[in-house]
Every structure is written in structure tokens, then in C-alpha cells.
Structure 1
């Protein structure tokens, strides 16, 4: 997409952000038909991911999960467009849960690393964090190749004061002096480099997990929290956050304990609400190496 057409496309997105929520979800339903019913976007990837993750489920059960995921996927798209201009009140209204522990951590000047998976709407989660936490919010992201699209997402994610940092610069960022505690926010369930990943069994499959979180937490002695974002039943576009403490002593826990516990919690959450995860992602495109280094194993 050249620069001219990128600007036209992003202008269209900004215009769509001013739709009412009712019309936005009408657009989502139409987009679901276009992407999945007509074009068949990644339907084979989704089908195989579900089949391998839930071998005990029938084809009929898997089809229901897939259909629910299709609409969830397009809802995320239109919700993200809406959040480009949504007010703070709307953001707080659409994601709720008990985050009072963050005030306690702030009072104790405790730095945090927040892990999450691709459940719920992660763009909403980022905005909610920068609005609701007293901590300085540092959101880790992967820059997009398209400059205009990358700028659009940067503007979205920093609307309420978050600091956006590419993953390859996070160690440098955390070395900077700060006047108040910080919370690093990142999703950690993408497909990782098989030669450096921690390998475990996740959703009945050999799965590699990025080890960067473990390294960051240990190096800077960060309390590790996991946030899950479930969909509120019968309230389209509303989510609930539940926070779990993985460890407040990252330097003392066994090797890859943090990652193994995160994977276990995420798996439980997916089993509870299976359509609420990014099934269209090629999560298992890498195979487990025949030989693993000691740092790739759990002790």
C-alpha cells in the first residue's frame, strides 16, 4: 500500500471511529460476512488451530467456536477503530474489574510487569491501563512496516499518556531514571523463535514462548502480574479484567517458572471462553527443536 492510499485508508478509519456503537457493530457483522463467509480469511488456519487445541471436541462443537470467533475478531477491529476517538469515560465503562492492588503496589513503589494474552481487546486494555494506573505505563509493541499505519497505532496507544517502546529497546528504556513506579504492559503469546524460546505443552501442543519477559522481570526485579480479559456475556463490546500475581520474587523462582505459570493460566482462561483468543494467528508455525538448551527448559 503506497503512502497516498495509506493516508486515504487511515482517513476512512478515523471517519468510521465516529460511528455510533450500534452502527459500528452492524459494520462488524457485515465485515464478518465479507472476511470469513465470502473470502474465507485464514479459515483453514483457524480450523487446524482449534482441532489441535481441542482434540476432545466434536466437529460441530469446533464449528460453533469458530463462528463465535469470527464475530469476535471483527468486533475487535471495529472496537479498535472506535477507541481511536473514544472518551476516557467510554474506555472505563467498557472494561471493568478490581484493580485496587495497583494502588497498593504504587504506595510501596513497586515496579510491575503486566503479562496478557490476545484475549479480549488488547488495545482497550492498553488504554485502560494508562487511564487507570497511577504507575507510568510502558507499553511494549512491534512497529509496523507501513509508516502511516504505525503512526496511527502509536497515536491510538499513547492517547492517555502511555509510553510506547519497541521490544528491542525495552532494556534501554528501563534503565532510565524515573520519578515514580512503572508498569510494563505486553502480550506474550505470539509465536517465538524456536531456538531461543521456552518450550512447554500448551493447548495439547508443543509450544515455544518468548523468554524476554523472564529476563526483564529478573534483571529489574519486577513483580509479575497476569491480566485476563474475558468478554461480558450478552454485552457486545464489554470486557472484564481479572488480575493474578505470578510472582513478587522473580529472582528466586525456578527457571521459566513465570512463563510456565502464565501459559497455564492462559490455557485455563481459553478453555473457559474458547472463542475469545486470536485463533487466526499462526501460533504453532515453528516445530520444537530436537535438542533444547538448558535455558529453554523449566527446572
Structure 2
């Protein structure tokens, strides 16, 4: 259901999307000051997540990483708004990297599960995939509760031909006949329900992950890739993509091995560029079933 003020906010977003990139980042800098210095948006969650994930860092180092995260976060927000109306050339210019592995798999008629974490700008990454990949691009998403916001993001994410598939419908979608290979784009580092999750140490904490990615790969015999989008610290709004093979023989791997391989890749990338992840998310809100919180 749409809230009464939503339509006015959508108009504001559409107006902001038509600004130049230079003015986009000016607004981001102002928003960064407000969220970090004035409001302290989710500051307690961010600092706790960083402290628990990097126990060897000093307090000043944690504060510095948090500050860099806020700048990354507000850039991410404004970049995403800008992507609603920017030309495709802007997307292709701002994400650089070697994607020859994807091209080769298309030539071999291979279907792909393309796993990401919430690093870089995942909305821009989705648009990049639909522009650059020859595969049919299927983006897995969770519909938003506000119908007007959901439609705004739907139009953003499908601008260049991607097909959005709700998470609950992706298994049925992959059973449909199609005339070319497909790539399923999935960010799988959000927090699932603890009872059905896969649990593993991650960033020095017991962490739950969705099992669906591995189930999807095994059932459909998909080639599994992992993509990391690191931020170019010298140029705002620019990213480098690095695509790695997780497995091209998923049925030969042991249970949870696909997840483990991808999780370790994500963990290494977070350690390499710590500010570039969604630290404002309450990622560790669940406890492993059977374990009680320490009071």
C-alpha cells in the first residue's frame, strides 16, 4: 500500500535524477554531513557491526571506517537516483573490468548464477549486467511494501531489458522455455530466517545465509560466478568489477560447499575495502537456533 506522501517523494527523486553527476555528488556530500554529523543515522548499528567484524582495529580506525562508509552510503543513494534517467553510456563508463568469462560462457550456451554481495552499487551493477551481458538477465528481488516505490524501482531495474523476478517465483521462472542462455543475478548476503538458514563464521561472527542460491544452482546445473564491485577511491561514482568462478560443476561439490566458497570470497573482499559494504543493515540480528543471547 502506498503512503500519502509517496507520490510527492517520487517526483523529487525524478527531479534529482535529471541533475548532472557533479551536482548529484554535491547533494551527496550535504546528505553525508546530515546523516553522519547531525542525525547519526543508524550510527550505533554501524559502529557495533564494524567493531565486531574487525576486532583488531582501534577505536579511531573504526570511526574512520564508519565515516568513509557514510560517504559511500550517500553516494550510493544519489547514484541510484541518478541511474533512473542517466544514459546507458554512463553505466558502461562507470563500471570497468574484465567480463570475458561471462562472454565465454554465453558462447558455450551455459546458464549462470551471478552472485553478489551488497558492495559497490548493486543497482548500477544490475543495469550494467543487462547492458553488457548477452544472456537474458533475470534479477531476483523482494517486492517493496509501498506499491509506488516498488514501481519506481521496477522501472529503474528494467530500464535496459532485465526481467525482475520475485524471490519466491525464481524456481518456477527457470522452468520456463527460453531461446537463449540466462544469467540469474542475486545478492545473497542479507539476513534470512534463522531456522532454515545456513550458519557459518563470517567476519568473526556466527552468521546465517540463505540456502536458496545453492539449491537453485544444483537443481538447474548452473555455472556459479561471484562478482565483486569495488569502489574507485580516486573517482566518485566509478567501480571496478572482478568476476570469479565459484564452480562450473556444482553437482560434484559437497553440501554447502558452493555457499562456503562464495562467502569466503565476499569476506576477503570486505576485508580488502572495509567501508564498501552495507554496514547499516542489522546483519547479525538473529542467533543460531538453540543458542540464547547472553543477558
Question: Could you state the TM-score of these two structures normalised by the residue count of structure 2?
Answer: 0.97
More displaced 10-residue stretch of structure 1: 99-108 or 200-209: 99-108
Structure 2 residue aligned with 1:290:
290
Pairing of 1:58-97 with structure 2 (within 5 A): 58-97=58-97
Q: Does 1:120 align with 2:128?
A: no
Question: How many Å apart are 1:3 and its aligned residue?
Answer: 4.5
Structure 2 residue aligned with 1:189:
189
Question: SS at the partner of 2:113?
Answer: strand
Structure 2 residue aligned with 1:275:
275
Structure 2 residue aligned with 1:11:
11
Partner Cα distance (2:51, 2:104) in 1: 43
Runs of 4+ in 1 over 3 A off after TM superposition: 1-4
Structure 2 residue aligned with 1:167:
167
Q: Does 1:139 align with 2:139?
A: yes
Partner Cα distance (1:124, 1:34) in 2: 24
Question: SS at the partner of 1:195?
Answer: helix
Partner Cα distance (1:228, 1:189) in 2: 13
Partner Cα distance (1:81, 1:187) in 2: 19
Pairing of 1:17-56 with structure 2 (within 5 A): 17-56=17-56
Partner Cα distance (2:181, 2:145) in 1: 32
Question: SS at the partner of 1:288?
Answer: coil
Q: Does 1:98 align with 2:83?
A: no
1:130/1:2 CA distance change after superposition, 3 Å: closer
Pairing of 1:259-274 with structure 2 (within 5 A): 259-274=259-274
Structure 2 residue aligned with 1:297:
none
Name structure 2 gaps, 5 residues minimum.
Answer: none
Partner Cα distance (1:112, 1:257) in 2: 17
Partner Cα distance (1:60, 1:102) in 2: 41
Over aligned residue pairs, what C-alpha RMSD do you find?
A: 1.1
Structure 2 residue aligned with 1:251:
251
1:144/1:264 CA distance change after superposition, 3 Å: same
Question: SS at the partner of 1:260?
Answer: helix
Question: Could you state the TM-score of these two structures normalised by the residue count of structure 1?
Answer: 0.96
Name structure 1 gaps, 5 residues minimum.
Answer: 292-299
Partner Cα distance (1:67, 1:3) in 2: 32
Residue-pair matches, total: 291
Task: Encode CA deviations 1:194-222: one digit per residue, 9 max, x unaligned.
Answer: 11111110000000110000000000000
More displaced 10-residue stretch of structure 1: 95-104 or 56-65: 95-104
Task: Encode CA deviations 1:80-127: one digit per residue, 9 max, x unaligned.
Answer: 000000111000001010001112111111000000000000000000
Partner Cα distance (1:12, 1:100) in 2: 39
Structure 2 residue aligned with 1:296:
none
Task: Encode CA deviations 1:102-160: one digit per residue, 9 max, x unaligned.
Answer: 12111111000000000000000000000000000000000000000000000000000
